[in-house]
Amino acid sequence: MNNVHIVTLGCSKNEVDSSMMYSLLNKDRYRMVDDASDADILIVNTCGFIDAAKEESIDTILESVEYKNEGRCKKVLLSGCLAQRYPEELLKEIPEIDGIIGTGNINYINELLDRSMAGDLFVKTDNLNSAYIEGIKKEEVKKTEFVKISEGCNNNCSYCIIPSLRGKNRSRKIEDIYSEVQYLVSKGAREIILIAQNTTDYGIDLYSKYSLAKLIKEISKIEDLKWIRVLYLYPDHFTDELIEEFRTNEKLVKYVDMPLQHISDNVLNSMNRKTSKDHILKTLKNLRASIPEIVIRTTFIVGFPGESQEDFKELVDFIEEIKFDKLGVFEYSREEGTKADLLDNQIPDEVKKRRKDEIMEIQSDISNEILSKNLDKSLEVLIEEKIDENNYVGRTYMDAPEIDGVIYVESNRNLEIGDFVIVKVIDTLDYDLVGEAI
């Protein structure tokens, strides 16, 4: 029996892929372990989206090689986006790597393990547009679980390599997603987070119409499911039906994660985004008019090739006008193999950093202003961690795990992980809240 440990890097979609690999393991030959130092086989599920993610992946691979050189680890294997993108280069530069599977080849995990343990170098990065593997049942289910509703992306944004790493958009059937969610809830999950590269595109390939609202309606019928959260809702196909679902569905938390990337039409066109400033403004205003308590999170890219000072000022003015509840900023990362890599007027790094810092300073003030409005409010909180006898960490509907803030909860009674409790907000921090359980 060989011990297997997977190191997962990058986004929550990779977390789902790692869970699938664990579920597919031949349990007669392999068992998963929580500690890398206990592993006979280390699998690094890599990210290759931007330079910082690639550097983290390389560093983690090298750390895993050290385990192999110094500890009990016998094999170092790779999966994920960086492995899909650079298999030959990785094998050449890091010969200690013992095998690779790409993003469309998770179902080959046991062959990868068997072949590597037999001394063979197994590399498989084809099947980029393969069908999603259904019927996987996780052994350990958390209170919050991510469920991937589609794989790949049709957007072809000029700065993004993801379609080359994940293939075209392939939606899963509603009945298959329903079955997975039902299983997770039966095992104790209370919050389900639906993810995809672009969740608003869900269903167009299967049903010839955008079907995210229909999917949400269906899984809402699962009785013990408390919260449904949706990430990566692109604005171009954010339908009126979907807005109505957010307004009326009590299980669908009033939280919209909408990656906008920019607001200047000049930059949006250059990015090959399938939207416009007018459409974005209309969607945001419809959301806030229909759902006063809606929380909107977004991300922007600064320093995109050709982004003028006027384009940047337009973005700043937009952020100050809309006052997003949550906001992240990325400096444009030049990626080989993308159309944007070939554009003229690349922006100097120091300008990118200055623009990012300016926006984050503005957003800090906005965040403090928005958080202060929660003082003395009573909010429903999902308890996630116990600090000590009377103190806990939780999340409200306003915060997605790992990317947003938390609420620190004081309670004079014992709370269990996974409890939903009512908490009165008594203080605010830079991005977090402090409250007392009622």
The rounded distance, in Å, linking the Cα atoms of 148 and 386 is: 29
Strand 407-410, strand 433-437: pairing: parallel
H helix runs in 253-398, sequence order: 265-271, 277-290, 309-322, 349-372
The rounded distance, in Å, linking the Cα atoms of 117 and 74 is: 8
Q: Which of 92, 12, 1, 83 is CA-nearest to residue 38?
A: 1
- The token duo for 67 is 């385990």
User: Could you give the angle at the alpha carbon of 275 between the alpha carbons of 269 and 277, nearest 5°?
Assistant: 85
Please measure the distance between the N-terminal and C-terminal CA atoms of the chain and give it in whole angstroms. Answer: 49
Residue type, 258: M
Q: Which of 277, 282, 280 is CA-nearest to residue 258?
A: 280
- Cα atoms found within 13 Å of the Cα of residue 258, Cβ hemisphere only: 23
Say which residue the tokens 């690349």 belong to.
346
Chain CA centroid to CA 82, Å:
16
Task: Classify residue 231 by its DSSP letter.
Answer: -
Helix (H, G, I), strand (E, B) or coil at 292: coil
Neighbour-count burial for 19-54, b at 16+ CB within 10 Å, e otherwise = bbbbbbbeeeebebbeebeebbbbbbbbbbbbeebb
Determine whether the annotation assigns residue 73 to a binding site.
no
Neighbour-count burial for 149-182, b at 16+ CB within 10 Å, e otherwise = bbbbbebebbbbbbbbbbbebbbbebeebbebbb
Helix (H, G, I), strand (E, B) or coil at 100: strand
Contact assessment for residue 47 and residue 10, using Cβ atoms and an 8 Å cutoff: yes
Question: If you write DSSP's letter for every residue of 238-283 in order, what string do you get?
Answer: --HHHHHHHHH-SSEEEEEE---B---HHHHHHHT-S--HHHHHHH
Residue type, 308: S
User: Could you give the angle at the alpha carbon of 239 between the alpha carbons of 194 and 283, nearest 5°?
Assistant: 100
Helix (H, G, I), strand (E, B) or coil at 384: strand
Task: Classify residue 131 by its DSSP letter.
Answer: P
Annotated binding site for [4Fe-4S] cluster: 11, 47, 81, 153, 157, 160
Annotated binding site: 11, 47, 81, 153, 157, 160
